[in-house]
Structure 1
Amino acid sequence: MARTVRETARRRATRAKIVEAALEEFGRNGIDATSVEQLCEAAGFTRGAFYSNFDTKNDVCAAVARYIADEYVEACRSALASATNDTDIGELLGRLFSAGAFSPERQRTMVELQLRASREPALSERLALAREETWPLIVEVVDHGAAQADCTFAMDTHDLLRLCEALFFSPLLTADGSNLRLMSRVLEALAVENHPVG
């Protein structure tokens, strides 16, 4: 049973540092090859600090998944905020995919999380819950981006995002970094101008 611990600013900062260290270490070494000691060393804390914030490495995995999902949403909102009404969808996508949230390091960490979740049903359930909480926000910013670029997509937004996920996490496309390029091409190809010129 999960324990209840009072949340303080110091505790939040400690947890954030451990999660940020896990983002890098999991992507670099893999989750199973990253020990609690390595996480603590990378974050600058002791084992005691780790276990006062997380019960298991899977707790860290769930926190990392939520962190990345929130980072995606923030990257989308930031890209939209920097766009104007005459920004075309290609330019908007370029701004979005240049964000750190879509970096190869983040991608590797997410692939690691998915692999671990495929072997551990309890973690899979926790990641699914985090996804359910953030998915509507991602759909919202994509729909808002399309409206800002004055276009719609020739595919349901949910299905479109699932297609993009498949491209983003495909091991066949990550080696040469073509996943983001293909995602952009697919999104541009499926974008239909609401008020075409001429």
Structure 2
Amino acid sequence: MSTRDSGRDTARRRETRARIVEAAMDQFGRNGIDATSVEQLCEAAGFSRGAFYSNFDSKDDVCEEVARYVATECVEACHDILGSASVGTDIVELLGRLFGVAAFSEERHNAIIELQIRARRDTELAARLEAVRADQWPLMLEAAERGATLAGLRFTVGVEESLRILEALYFSPIGEGANASLVTAAAAALLTRIEP
């Protein structure tokens, strides 16, 4: 097989995995992880069980990939929005723009809550999801610090502690829209104007 053919196989494999992960986010968010079978994932993605098992060993592998996908999407969305924001941006407007992107959609919100519930019952999955988080956490901290700086604000407690509080509020299972409002209010309480 030529390098060119190998590259196409790799691209095709990435596309297959991405479609399965996107189907999983939708199905997990709608039905829950345990109530979603491999067959349902395959049907939603438009693939056979063979395609699933040639890319993933188990549903937990998909769970890990969903967590990685959502975390990466979230970081990229934050950086895109912060990259187009100007100094003096209103923090409420900035948070509103962040919550308006696909990374914070209701399906992803529900899928992440489902992952958290499953991880509480499965220590191996919990460790896998924590490794994904460890990869992305420094980038989230950087985005939070940059957002505060652009808004002319600073965190009244450490940025890591603040972000953990905001994350806990956002992913509490009380409803995506209400969570965005809670996080916006909490962010305002955790931030103070930088004095010139």
Determine if the TM-score, normalized by the shorter chain, exceeds 0.5. yes
Rounded to whole Å, the distance in 2 between the matches of 1:113 and 1:170 is: 13
CA distance in structure 1 between the partners assigned to 2:38 and 2:190 by the alignment: 44
1:104 is aligned, of 103, 106, 112, to: 106
Residues 45-56 of structure 1 aligned to structure 2 (within 5 Å): 45-56=47-58
Give the Cα separation in 1 of the matches to 2:188 and 2:101.
18
Q: Is the 8 A contact 1:89 1:191 kept in 2?
A: no
Q: Report the CA distance between 1:112 and its aligned residue.
A: 0.5
- Give the TM-score, by structure 1 length: 0.91
Q: What CA deviation, in whole Å up to 9, does each residue of 1:12-51 have, x standing for no partner?
A: 1110000000000000011011111110011011110000
In the alignment, which residue of structure 2 is the partner of 1:94?
96
What is the percentage of aligned positions where both structures have the same residue? 56
Q: Deviations over 1:55-85 (max 9, x none)?
A: 0000000000000111110121122122111
Deviations 1:106-133 (A, max 9, x none): 1110011011111111111100000000
Q: Secondary structure at the match of 1:192?
A: strand
* Residue in structure 2 matched with residue 132 of structure 1 by the alignment: 134
Partner of 1:3: none
Match of 2:175 in 1: 174
In the TM superposition, residue 159 of structure 1 has moved relative to its aligned partner by 0.7
Provide the TM-score with structure 2 as the length reference: 0.92
Structure 2: stretches of 5+ with no match in the other structure: 1-6
2:35 to 33, 36, 58: 33
How many residue pairs are counted as aligned between the two chains? Answer: 189
Q: Structure 1: which 5+ residue stretches go unaligned?
A: 1-5
Amino acid corresponding to residue 193 of structure 2 in structure 1: E
Q: State the shift of 1:101 in Å.
A: 1.1
Q: What is the 5 A alignment of 1:1-198?
A: 8-171=10-173, 173-174=174-175, 177-195=177-195
